[in-house]
Structure 1
Amino acid sequence: MCASISGFSKLSKSKKIDWIVETYFSNAEDAKRILKQYWNTNEKIQQLHDEFTENTITNYYLPLGVAPNFLINGKLYTIPMAIEESSVVAAASKAAKFWMDRGGFKAEVISTTKIGQVHFMYYGNPETLKNYFNHIKSQLIEDAKPITKNMEKRGGGILDIELRDKTKDIKGYYQLHASFETLDAMGANFINSCLEQFAKTFKTEALNFNAFSAEEKIIQIVMSILSNYVPECLVRAEVSCKIEDLSEDKNISAEEFATKFVQAVKIAEVEPYRAVTHNKGIMNGIDAVVLATGNDFRAVEACVHAYASRKGTYSSLSHAKIEDGIFTFWMEIPLALGTVGGLTGLHPLVKLSLELLHHPTAKELMQIVAVAGLAQNFAALRSLTTTGIQQGHMKMHLMNILNLFDATDIEKEILTEYFKVNTVTHSAVVEAIENLRIK
């Protein structure tokens, strides 16, 4: 029977586990055994993991795979990918090899501007507020100097602050809309600290602004927070080649493949039902690298999908064209990433992942991550427009089904060979393993 508990966070990890397993599981000892199986045997590393979050009871592992042969701007990379979906790393690797032989991927960072906002309420004269903002703007930046001085030494800092009138949406609602450059840091803590200082100065100094009436001096700060929507923190990734160099499939000509591929992308541009799945495929590649490098995949996901809807309809992130006999496939995508701060200096596997990528700057990581997403998208569309997605996907999924039925090494070997020439479905695998065991 489930029960509430008071002071759970103050319990030791072992006491937390005891309460969890005794309250929620029919076999407490078996549940405890599974939880402890995933502890790290290195006490120092386990303590590090325990302190990453609150109320830790065990570790939740994802496979860390690598996709080699990524040629990006003339430089070879092996890209780390933390993901449980079996076909993703294989598809990315295949796409990387395909394009390595055709000049590789080109990538460039268009902009790295990040955004934060102070949301506040003011019910007085809008013109007086504008005058106050113009009067106080330089002081907002000056009062934040203790926070920004180190960032400024490295070439970053506050880019601008604007006053935005949002009273058409909500009565009395205004914003201080600030833009930042945070260099190799994702910058969330830096931006939020700046915003809270802006809010403090903005509210306090209003009391001394003579043009305000007594009521106008009362500015209500609602909240100060960065935005994970960063449409001006953009990176572009691209591949291109002659049409005749495209196809490796004997069953379809290069021209037909190129035409079908472009049509598939155009469908995703105009049909939201298709666009969501299309973009999910892109995020398969992006999220896997974002996770492996200790970045915030939730923030990236939220931003990317908002960006895909920026014109009023959810649409494809990637685009393709055929022009003068050249096939081009590209994507511009917002990515706010960091290579310093957060988990990047703490998690041992994140450190290894960044070293594997030649210790990239934030801009270089943006390029790598965007390329991983484009490669994943290319691999998926290539399958969809030729053999169909299930042939490759289900073959990769075969091992998951075999493991579900506790197949032995010998059974795996026999059935893997069998399904090289037979269609993989869940029911077909179940039938095959049952027949094998009867024999």
Structure 2
Amino acid sequence: MSHSRSSRIPGFHRKPPRERLQIVADFAGLDAAAAARLADTGGLGLDLADHLIENVVGSMNVPLGIATNMKVDGEDVLIPMATEESSVVAAVCNAARQCYEAGGFTTSLSGTLMIAQIQTVGVADPHAARLRILERVHDVKAVCDGCDPVLLKFGGGFRDLEVRVLDTLSGPMVVTHLIVDTRDAMGANAVNTMAETLAPHVAQWTGGRVYLRILSNLADRRLARARAVWPLEEIGGDEVRDGIIGAYHFAAADPYRAATHNKGIMNGISAVVLATGNDTRAVEAGAHAYAARNGHYGSLTRFERTADGQLSGSIEIPMAVGLIGGATKLHPTAQASLKILGVTSAERLARIIAAVGLAQNFSALKALATTGIQKGHMALHAQNIALMAGAVGDEVDRVARTLVERGTVRQDVAQAVLEELRRG
């Protein structure tokens, strides 16, 4: 059977989604029920899905939850979060509740600037060539702004020019940075077009050959910031505060811990980025690159003790998100999420997302510093295990509770518990 199967399927991309699905079902031996589940694309119409990406056969439905208790810059907001991981949404709710009375989260944004890079190689006099490009800043601005009149109309456009001489394994490269205000767009398409259009001019000015012309996902001119104070009486006293600060110090010093610490931050951030149809990979890449900007990979958050002994937390993170492009504009769930958030600018969205990242991190560190992360996580994980064991309806909670009480959250145990329960 396996020898006759071929993944060379001529014209697959031209076939309608249902036909593609049938081909895949035959290839993989999917039964009718599995194929029907793939064909059910939920709130995303099959036709729209087929236009968003290539070779569509179905959709991957991720649960959408709402985090409550969030107050951002004095305004109460509900936070839509798309994630498959248990306890992530609850963590944001809990963190936000514990700083709500103290004023919630205060946020700011450094701007809505994106960077496009133009790589030039084979330049005889790279340092002089760098100056030749910088001298043409007015020409550069004219070319860039000519690419996107709509962006200009909304107050965006070219803002600044940077040129670096980079020593690399294949010799010096002249790297031109176009700094562009992309306003409510994430901005990838806008800045890529500008880089493409300017490239021949750069080649001419430098006498070199231009290769890559592409945005940078290290959006360090677009930093979202959030801070909050958690009063001691809300979090359980000075021992908890010191435990959280100690956990932050561990992450700041050790990349092995920082990777997990920052992953927890991204649990919150990526869930909102996905819910609003934005690019999770772009935001993740920018965050982790920023965490290593000083040559050492560390924490994206900081926790300190205030003058009167409360816990103060802060975050600063690149946040390239938009309201007006790609899936954000086309996906009905993304549109509903933006409506729930009540955001009318990419700036407000970025600021709220940073606050969610800080909330998520606070909860994770508090759990680690007190009961350990497994206790709360296991209670929710036990429900998944109960489902896997075949529990239905109210059996799920009953089996899960028993597993947690016994302190053994395993599928074989869940099956035994379920059998006892059904025998009654």
| Structure 2 contact 82–274 (Cα < 8 Å) conserved | yes
Q: How many residues align?
A: 418
- Gaps of at least 5 residues in structure 2 are none
Aligned equivalent of 1:348: 332
What's the TM-score, normalizing by structure 2?
0.92
Task: Choose from 5, 14, 25 the match for 2:9.
Answer: 5
Task: Choose from 202, 216, 222 the match for 1:233.
Answer: 222
Aligned equivalent of 2:245: 262
Aligned equivalent of 1:319: 302
Change (3 A) 1:32 1:326: closer
Which AA in structure 2 matches 1:263?
A: G
Aligned equivalent of 1:287: 270
Change (3 A) 1:92 1:131: closer
Moved more, 124-133 or 1-10: 124-133
1:144 offset after TM fit, Å? 2.9
Change (3 A) 1:349 1:34: closer
Moved more, 385-394 or 320-329: 320-329
Within 5 Å, which residues of 2 pair with 1:51-130?
51-126=51-126, 128-130=128-130
Task: Choose from 334, 358, 361 the match for 2:345.
Answer: 361
| Structure 2 contact 145–158 (Cα < 8 Å) conserved | no
| Structure 1 contact 391–424 (Cα < 8 Å) conserved | no
Quote the Cα distance in structure 2 between the aligned partners of 1:130 and 1:379: 48
Change (3 A) 1:282 1:138: same
Change (3 A) 1:130 1:71: closer
Quote the Cα distance in structure 2 between the aligned partners of 1:165 and 1:413: 61
Aligned equivalent of 2:26: 22
Which AA in structure 2 matches 1:289?
A: V
RMSD, matched Cα: 2.1
1:135 offset after TM fit, Å? 4.6
Which AA in structure 1 matches 2:22?
A: D
Change (3 A) 1:71 1:133: same
The question of 1:338 aligning with 2:338 is answered no
| Structure 1 contact 238–331 (Cα < 8 Å) conserved | yes
CA deviations on 1:295-338 (whole Å, 9 max, x unpaired) are 10001111111111112221111111114223211111111111
Task: Choose from 391, 399, 403 the match for 2:375.
Answer: 391
What's the TM-score, normalizing by structure 1?
0.89
1:165 offset after TM fit, Å? 1.2
1:132 offset after TM fit, Å? 3.3
Change (3 A) 1:410 1:359: closer
The question of 1:437 aligning with 2:414 is answered no
| Structure 1 contact 136–202 (Cα < 8 Å) conserved | no
Partner SS state of residue 223, structure 1: strand
Quote the Cα distance in structure 2 between the aligned partners of 1:246 and 1:168: 52
Task: Choose from 235, 255, 258 the match for 1:247.
Answer: 235
| Structure 1 contact 318–330 (Cα < 8 Å) conserved | yes
Which AA in structure 1 matches 2:197?
A: Q
| Structure 1 contact 398–424 (Cα < 8 Å) conserved | no
Task: Choose from 22, 33, 41 the match for 2:36.
Answer: 33
Partner SS state of residue 32, structure 1: helix
Question: Percent identity of the aligned residues?
Answer: 35
Moved more, 314-323 or 1-10: 1-10
CA deviations on 1:141-200 (whole Å, 9 max, x unpaired) are 212333233222322111112222114553142111111111111011000011111103
Which one has a bigger Cα radius of gyration? 1
Moved more, 167-176 or 390-399: 167-176
Quote the Cα distance in structure 1 between the aligned partners of 2:242 and 2:315: 18
1:241 offset after TM fit, Å? 4.2
- Gaps of at least 5 residues in structure 1 are 207-215, 249-253
CA deviations on 1:330-389 (whole Å, 9 max, x unpaired) are 111111111122222211111111111113311111111011111111111111111111
